[in-house]
Structure 1
Amino acid sequence: MTSLRLMITGANGFVGRKVTEAARRNPALELVEFIDETGASPDIADADAVDRAIAAARPDRVLHLAAIAAPRQAQADASRAWAVNFSGTLHLAQALMKHRPEARLVWSGSSEAYGASFNRGPLPLAETAALEPANVYGATKAAADIALGQLGRSGALDTAILRPFNHTGPGQAADYVVPAFAAQIAAIENGEQEPVLKVGNLDALRDFLDVVDVVALYIAALLAEGRIGGEAYNVATGKPVRIGDLLEGLLSEARVKISVETDPARYAPNAVPVASGNPEKARERFGWEPQIAINDTLKGVLDALRAS
């Protein structure tokens, strides 16, 4: 069997590292690097550099993960977020249409593209819900979703739009809520912080997955037979969890007694009280089902931080 040549943008990121590991274990995939003529990863915002990288590698599949991924970072530098998340995605699509029109582009979008639609319901939200992003990050992702969807439906390029909801696992940066809590617990256990865990707003409900389950759907979308044609798929459980319950799950694993204190600097009101996605479409198309219990994920994150 001939392997599919897979290029991953953002391969050095949290999810990118996990997908790379999974792809290396899969005999149906052959990894090719996203590099320019100097051997470095090109700036996705540089259209010419992206074009040269695609022309050189000639991939059969591209998993596009490269992004300004933190909403706060996108908000702080909106111009760069648009250049990377939106324009960079178009550069990749245009290069593929020019050099590898038969290839498939699997795009890692975001549940943030739905934005205010979460407040209109019904939940869990289906892919047909309106894209009403509430921040810069969500807007860049929504715009790229729309562009790639049009290319896929028109037949110009086979595209798959995946909209992952909150996901975590060992190795995620402490900018995100689960490793942020876990890092404090590990520091307290090591005597590096007083036994008080500082938190913000714990009332939001979010749809959390283990990163390994997210990777499984990315691989399934890359390998799926037939054209996907610009269809969008939620990467979700449909079962939102309160942030405070995630904290309780982590505290139940703590080796010392820890109190919790609200930090005004971390506290923000919830513009979206509940965010949850319906995973039925991904289940039907790819046979995908989340496998990892959230408490197992929490323990894995905490154990990794203890060992670091």
Structure 2
Amino acid sequence: MTRALITGITGQDGLYLAELLLSKGYDVYGLIRGQNNPKLDLVRETVPGVKLLTGDLTDLSSLLRALQVAQPDEVYNLGAISFVAYSWENAMLTTDVTGKGVLNILEAVRLYSGDDPTKVRFYQASSSEMFGKVQEVPQRESTLLWPRSPYGVAKVFGHYMTINYRESYGMHASSGILFNHESPRRGYEFVTRKVSRAVARIKLGLQDDIVMGNIDAKRDWGFAGDYVEAMWRMLQQDQPDDYVVATGVTHSIRELLDVAFNRVGIEDWAGYIKQDPRFMRPAEVDLLIGDPAKANDQLGWKPKVAFQELIEMMVDNDLDIERTQAGR
């Protein structure tokens, strides 16, 4: 039985990846930060087959202990402070977890592996935010990185550190440069879930409007459940490498609002939107669109869920949640 350790098990990617690996017969371990993690029950309910370990990406010794217990064949580092807007408010903490945390888990894997650098196959969750002020459209694995947020800068550090450990020590270490990927499990602070929840509440008469930032920004949005399969496929390759994981199609936040409001029968949504400068990024990333050709060709991976289906799925989920809560 193949054994895997997932950091960031409480996030949407961690939950979908755990489900995928369990379905393939893996013995799955998840790293939980803190004794009273508020998402502990969620993980236990969603993926009861996962064995949970306590650890922290900022504490090398805890990572070594987790590796000794899990004895993994594969490690998926999904743990990060992943909300971009928060990274301007807490740049140092974001750097410690999202950046230096990658170094800690890489070093822990290297030490655990001993004389066999390929004993553990390692996946690093890199991000399209690394492209930032994009230098070419679409963005591919060779595109110059120009991050525009403390989060993006931290992700660049982790990305290059993964490459450095691969080249310096011969580790089977791969990075997935994932473009925006969403799901009904997305946190409410992210714009897609913020919109899907607000639209559901407006439809049910529980909310009057949505306060937004830049609604002209464009993103390449996919379904998180599809993207975790790409992660797994990377670690099944004979040689480690880096891959852009994206749909190759871009949509604006205006289009996101169109689909979400149309799902609940509202065509003219202008009166429900308020814009607030507080929700504008200090340095905006205007157009992110990935070129997934390498992942398509070498991994045999293609996204299955299209943009409209994804947003409608999220709105339907939030309608169910809000109806249930209102009924109570």
Does TM-score exceed 0.5, indicating one fold? yes
- Counterpart residue number, 1:17: 15
Summarize deviations over 1:79-118 as a string: whole Å, max 9, x none: 21111112211111111111123211101111111112x1
- Counterpart residue number, 1:164: 178
Residue 25 of structure 1 aligns with an amino acid whose one-letter code is: S
Residue 280 of structure 2 aligns with an amino acid whose one-letter code is: A
- Counterpart residue number, 2:132: 115
Residue 132 of structure 2 aligns with an amino acid whose one-letter code is: G
Q: What is the Cα deviation at residue 255 of structure 1?
A: 4.1
Distance 1:169 1:302 in 2: 10
Distance 1:233 1:61 in 2: 17
Unaligned runs of 5+ in 2: 36-51, 322-328
Corresponding residue pairs, total = 297
- Counterpart residue number, 2:238: 226
Summarize deviations over 1:62-89 as a string: whole Å, max 9, x none: 0110100111222211221111112211
Q: What is the Cα deviation at residue 272 of structure 1?
A: 2.9
Residue 104 of structure 2 aligns with an amino acid whose one-letter code is: H
Query: Is 2:275 the partner of 1:263?
Result: yes
Instruction: Give 3-state SS (helix, strand or coil) of 1:147's partner.
Output: helix
Summarize deviations over 1:161-203 as a string: whole Å, max 9, x none: 1111111111211211111111111111222112x44433211
Task: Determine which of 265, 278, 285 is the counterpart of 1:272.
Answer: 285
Distance 2:109 2:215 in 1: 43
Residue 98 of structure 1 aligns with an amino acid whose one-letter code is: L
Q: Name the % identity.
A: 25
Q: What is the Cα deviation at residue 155 of structure 1?
A: 4.1
Summarize deviations over 1:180-235 as a string: whole Å, max 9, x none: 111111111222112x444332111111101111112112123x13121xx22111
Residue 110 of structure 1 aligns with an amino acid whose one-letter code is: S
Instruction: Give 3-state SS (helix, strand or coil) of 1:109's partner.
Output: strand
User: Contact 2:53–2:66 at 8 Å: present in 1 too?
Assistant: no
Superposed, 1:189-228 pairs within 5 Å as 189-194=203-208, 196-222=209-235, 224-228=236-240
Instruction: Give 3-state SS (helix, strand or coil) of 2:187's partner.
Output: coil
Query: Is 2:31 the partner of 1:34?
Result: yes
Query: Is 2:196 the partner of 1:186?
Result: no
Superposed, 1:47-196 pairs within 5 Å as 47-100=60-113, 101=117, 102-116=119-133, 118=134, 120-121=135-136, 123-194=137-208, 196=209
Task: Determine which of 255, 258, 273 is the counterpart of 1:248.
Answer: 258
Q: What is the Cα deviation at residue 23 of structure 1?
A: 1.2
Query: Is 2:246 the partner of 1:236?
Result: yes
Superposed, 1:275-294 pairs within 5 Å as 275-294=288-307
Distance 1:32 1:126 in 2: 32
Distance 2:182 2:256 in 1: 12
User: Contact 2:102–2:161 at 8 Å: present in 1 too?
Assistant: no
Q: Tell me whether 59-68 or 75-84 shows the greater mean CA deviation.
A: 75-84
Task: Determine which of 301, 305, 308 is the counterpart of 2:318.
Answer: 305
Pairwise CA RMSD of aligned residues? 2.0
Distance 1:251 1:25 in 2: 35
Distance 1:133 1:77 in 2: 16
Distance 2:284 2:2 in 1: 43
Q: What is the Cα deviation at residue 133 of structure 1?
A: 0.9
In the superposition, relative to structure 1, how do residues 286 and 192 fare at CA in structure 2: closer, same or farther (>3 Å)? same
User: Contact 1:97–1:156 at 8 Å: present in 2 too?
Assistant: no
TM-score, with structure 2 as normaliser: 0.85
User: Contact 1:107–1:160 at 8 Å: present in 2 too?
Assistant: yes
Distance 1:71 1:193 in 2: 25
